[in-house]
A and B are shown apart, each in its own frame.
Chain A
Amino acid sequence: EIVLTQSPGTLSLSPGERATLSCRASQFISSSYLAWYQQKVGQAPRLLIKATTSRARGTPDRFSGSGSGTDFTLSISRLEPEDFAVYYCQQYGSLPLTFGGGTKVEIK
């Protein structure tokens, strides 16, 4: 099973600042099969990024994904008020499918 470790656990930033979220895998993820989701309180997760770098429909271009192998990053160039939420990575390179533990982006 591929274990995904997200860091930091919590990121305290102000609107307009840049956010950098990390997702590290315990094993190589083939073909960069990694996705990112945003979850707001009381809501279901929403797909942001698929295949490491491809924005899902409706994802603003201030969100970008990068990485390969075992190290992946979600960046938010300038935080908007609606971006404060929890973010999860998910690998689909091998079964069982696994999610990271999440990074909470909170208002400083």
Chain B
Amino acid sequence: QLQLQESGPGLVKPSETLSLTCSVSGGSVSSPSYYWGWIRQPPGKGLEWIAIIYFSGSTFYNPSLESRVTLSVDTSKNHFSLKLTSVTAADTATYFCARQSRSITGTPEWFDPWGQGTLVTVSS
């Protein structure tokens, strides 16, 4: 059974860089059938898609965050990572990683499963 686990600092100072890693077990990030993604949820609010990455390193970013986001994948460690630069209080959220199904034509589809999420607070 595939499991995903987010890890990283729970507190980041304004203007600094938020860095999170998602460790995958019970499956491989090198699978050609999936993308690997990040979604966030501010406290008490809805879900926002951040970005996804393929094992080859191909990425798709949400235009609203693209200038500040970088995704990477490490197939040897079976994990993928998120970096978000120049954070502000508006970036305070629970960050989820998830596996995303990929169609045969390469279309990103639904997210399943999700990690449990990690709360990141931006504050000095």
Contacts and interface: CB of A to CB of B under 8 A. Distances in A.
Interface stretch (B7-15, B81-89, B105-113): B105-113
A93 to B, nearest CB: 9
Nearest to A49: B110
Contacts, number: 64
A56 B112 contact: yes
Contacts of B109: 33, 35, 50-51, 92
A47 B62 contact: no
Interface size class of B (residues with CB under 8 A): 20 to 34
A100 B64 contact: no
A45 B47 contact: yes
Interface stretch (B16-24, B25-33, B70-78, B114-122): B114-122
A101 B47 CA distance: 7
A47 B111 contact: yes
Given A33-B107, A92-B107, A99 B112 contact: no
Given A45-B114, A50-B101, A99-B39, 12 more contacts: A35-B110, A35-B111, A44-B115, A45-B47, A47-B112, A47-B113, A88-B46, A90-B111, A95-B60, A95-B108, A99-B49, A101-B46
